[in-house]
Structure 1
Amino acid sequence: MVVYLPSLTLFCHSLWTKKMSAAAALFVFMCLTATTYADHHQPCHSPNMTGLMSVMSFKGEMKALGAFTYDSMGKKLRFRSNESQPTNTSLGLDLLMFFDEGIFYEIDSKNQSCEKKKLQMALHPLDIPDDAKLYSTVNSGSASIEGEGLKVNVWTGSMPQIKGHYSMSVTMGCLPVTTMYFSETTPFLFRNMEVDLEIKDPDLLVVPSFCHGQPVEDTPEGTINSFLNEFM
């Protein structure tokens, strides 16, 4: 049976009152007009992926735009921004994340250098946390016209380390489409595009030779290293 969930409307309305950018407001509009289905699932886990990722603040500022490679089994992520898709306002980042090992590298291929750091938080926008809660199932666009809609599960959860929360829209095949992160600092919107279900270049997930033997840098007290914090 198709139902409209009042809680989803209240959730979207609360986001609207935060005076978000046009991108976030569009998401809110989709929430308000969506048809939702009451359902209960356990979080799925994303497959291997190669694609493009954009990061935008709710003020409309493009923080980063670049290519990613994700190994879902090995829990490895490479993200390189402002290379194949350069923009004047985006950050130039080259990050190699090893989530299971709790470390990551900030790579500078041009200068053949890198920094090796500890990960204090493994949360990232390409996989659903095990403790995420299913908020709703949403049809964005039209469910009755072929090719004019997308059905997604909306997963939500908290981020106690940075005093925030998140909302992830994930396809029925477990591909994250958009993720919104809300914290005490600037909220962010992550979008994944042009996704292929394969690792096209496995070498991107290998530590470059000039990083071998690099010591782990000391983390200043109070600092939280994570994929998300690279954009804050």
Structure 2
Amino acid sequence: MNSLICFGLLVFGTGVCLGQKPHPCRSPPLLSGSMTVTAKDGHAWAFAKYRYDAFGQRIRLWEFGKSDSKTFHLNMLFLFREGLVYNIDYRNKTCQKNVLHSTFHPSEIPRNASLLSQVILGGSSAPGEGLLVNTWTGVVHETQGKYMATVTEFGCIPVSLLYYTPEKGWVITSYFNAVTGIEDPEQFIPPSFCTDIQTEEETLDFFSAFL
């Protein structure tokens, strides 16, 4: 089945830090990390490692999960400039290629988002016990979906995303182990056995490729 991961990096009382009100922000252009996703009222879940490249407009995902009592493993490469998405199977040396009908959106808090709160996750009794984060809410106009996104005050690193549409219900994403930068840029290059394959007739957008 298609992946469950809804890459929340693409949609993202009021507190005050050092006397300054938080402002919408953009995440670093190169990010590596991991994420978990829960959907369908807890009946579906997935774990994934991700690589995010805003310069080249590329996203790579390695994931496994379970939905409707069925487990799945997926290795996906999204190339937005080329308009292609690859589903790669290294074990069988096979590859599925589809046209990607989506525009790349950088990971950011939109300017029209509303600040819900600024809080410290964990503790505040001593240095290093907590993490200062900002939570924002808004609407994704393309889908009319509602979101609540939490990012770090310093660095604008994604922490969590709650996303709701009447069709899909709630999708809950948590991010962790984020590192700025990409260790191996070749992860964004399709393997050699994907070179000569035919493009599938089905055209996918970013959300349908996952959901």
Q: In which range does the TM-score fall when normalised by the shorter chain?
A: 0.7 to 0.9
SS of the equivalent of 2:187 reads helix
* Residues 169-208 of structure 1: pairs in structure 2 closer than 5 A: 169-171=150-152, 172-184=154-166, 185-208=168-191
Per the TM alignment, residue 182 of structure 1 is displaced from its structure 2 partner at its CA by 0.8
Change over 3 Å in CA distance of 1:35–1:130 after alignment to 2: closer
1:134, CA displacement in angstroms? 4.4
Instruction: Tell which deviates more after alignment, 61-70 or 126-135.
Output: 126-135
Equivalent in the alignment of 2:107: 127
Q: TM-score, normalised by structure 1?
A: 0.68
Q: What residue number does 1:45 align with? A: 27
Q: 1:96 to 1:143 in 2, by over 3 A?
A: same
TM-score (norm 2): 0.74
Structure 1 residues 89, 166: closer, same or farther in 2, change over 3 A? farther
User: Which residue of 97, 104, 109 maps to 1:115?
Assistant: 97
Question: What are the equivalent positions in structure 2 for 1:76-115 lying under 5 Å apart?
Answer: 76-82=58-64, 91-111=72-92, 112-115=94-97
For structure 1, list consecutive stretches of 5 or more residues without a partner in the other structure.
Answer: 1-33
Q: Classify 1:160/1:102 alpha carbon distance in 2 versus 1 (closer, same or farther; 3 Å).
A: farther
Aligned residues: 190
**Secondary structure of residue in 2 paired with 1:92:** strand
* 1:163 aligned onto 2:144: yes
Which structure has more relative contact order (CA 8 Å, sep 6+)? It is 2
How far did 1:170 drift? 1.0
Deviations 1:189-227 (A, max 9, x none): 11222222221222211122222244544446xxx621x
Runs of at least 5 residues in structure 2 that lack an aligned partner in the other structure:
1-12
1:122 Cα deviation after fit = 4.0
Give the counterpart letter for 2:158 in structure 1: P
- Picking from 54, 57, 64, the partner of 1:72 is 54
| Contact 2:145-2:163 within 8 A present in 1 as well | yes
Q: Summarize the Cα distance change of 1:193–1:62 in structure 2 as closer, same or farther, 3 Å threshold.
A: farther
| Root-mean-square deviation over aligned CA pairs | 2.9
**C-alpha distance in 2 between matches for 1:190 and 1:98:** 22
Which structure dedicates a bigger proportion of its chain to helix? 1
The percent identity for this pair of structures is 27
